[in-house]
Amino acid sequence: MAADAGADGDTSARALGRALDLRAALHAVFLAEAEGRPAPAAAAATLGAFVEQAAAHLTLTPERDTWSFRFARVEHPKSPLWPIAWDAARLLTSDDRPPVRRCANDRCRWLFLDESRRGNRRWCDMAVCGSRAKARTYYRRRKAETRFRVRAGRGSVERGLALLDKLDETEVPGSQGKVQSR
């Protein structure tokens, strides 16, 4: 029984390692897309290997009025990752794919598809990164304005900036951990 637990733990650790490898490859490939440069060869090879395995397990299935691809039900440690790799490949090869962008917040590592009408979206989420950046800019502008006014009221602006910096280091409801760790 102890031997089985060790084997399951080892399998789980390998599965987690594969998932992290795919995540790193996806980030590298889509970051390269966002920056307009070629994808790193190692990341492209990793993604390609996952896509190749995924494609080998696709089946064409009739639906009511159409057909669709489905993954065959296979007990394989990588099978949960196949739909992710396949969808990423379909997105990369899509003719009508919106541009991939990187969030303009230097502390954020998120990438997003810019589906805005003008194609000029800057933030992964306006409620988190965009709002904080605009508030920080507002407070800094106010701070600069108050230097030319009465010097006695400067403390409130400085406290506001300190609060914004503290907000950047706290958890946002609905996010996965701290905002700066994205």
Each residue's pLDDT, cut to its tens digit, for the chain (182 residues) gives 344 444 556 688 898 999 999 999 999 999 999 999 999 999 999 999 999 999 998 988 898 899 988 888 877 778 889 999 999 999 999 999 899 999 888 888 889 999 889 888 888 877 778 777 777 778 778 777 676 554 445 556 666 666 666 666 655 555 555 444 44
> Which pLDDT does position 152 carry in this prediction?
45
d(CA 88, CA 29): 10
> Which pLDDT does position 166 carry in this prediction?
67
Contacts with 30 (C-beta within 8 Å, 6 or more apart), sequence order = 88, 100, 111
d(CA 176, CA 104): 19
Q: Cα 88 to the chain's mean position, in Å?
A: 12
Q: Which residues, in sequence order, are bridge partners of residue 58? A: 71
> Which pLDDT does position 11 carry in this prediction?
80
Count Cβ atoms within 10 A of the Cβ of residue 160 and give its class: 0-12 exposed, 13-18 middle, 19 or more buried. middle
Ordered by start, the domain boundaries in the chain are 1-97
For residue 39, give Cα distances in angstroms to 31, 95, 104, 120, 162: 8, 18, 21, 23, 39
d(CA 14, CA 55): 22
Global pTM reads: 0.66
